[in-house]
Structure 1
Amino acid sequence: MTQRNTTLSRHVTSDGIVVWTRCACGRLRMDLVPIAGGAPLSAGPCPRCHTGPDPLTPDQG
């Protein structure tokens, strides 16, 4: 069985794109991709299941 992240929501904010995902193991993760450049910010990634979301690509299920 392939482990996948599920995108729960994606929001454009004044700072960038915020993406909330749920890991295959059930853990919640938040990613901020800044509009003005700079390093992305992540909170809550699972060390075993981590694959970051692509904020511009819709979730495929």
Structure 2
Amino acid sequence: MDQQNTTLSRHVTSDGIVVWSRCACGRLRMDLVPTGGGRGLVAGPCPHCARDTDPR
């Protein structure tokens, strides 16, 4: 799919930045972008919609 995700909110936490977004099909996605260069965490990605934007 060539439709982009919509960023709903960003929240600074002690572990990094939590980004909530909605993909083209309407499914919610949560990304944790850690401070300090650690490995990120993703919850709820849609297997059918491409993630074509960086959550940062």
Describe the SS at the equivalent of 2:24.
coil
**Structure 2: 5+ residue runs without aligned partners?**
none
**Compared CA separation, residues 17 and 53, structure 1 to 2 (3 A):** farther
Q: Do the aligned residues in 2 keep the contact of 1:18 with 1:32 (CA within 8 Å)?
A: yes
Contact 1:11–1:18 at 8 Å: present in 2 too? yes
Query: Which runs of 4 or more aligned residues in structure 1 lie more than 6 Å from their structure 2 counterparts after TM superposition?
Result: none
Query: 1:40 maps to which residue?
Result: 40
Sequence identity (%): 75
Task: Note the C-alpha offset of 1:39.
Answer: 1.0
Aligned positions, number: 56
> Normalised by the size of structure 1, how large is the TM-score?
0.79
Look up the match of 1:13.
Answer: 13
Cα RMSD between the aligned structures? 1.8
The structure-2 alpha-carbon separation of the partners of 1:13 and 1:52, relative to structure 1 and needing over 3 Å to count, comes to: farther
Letter in 2 for 1:12: V
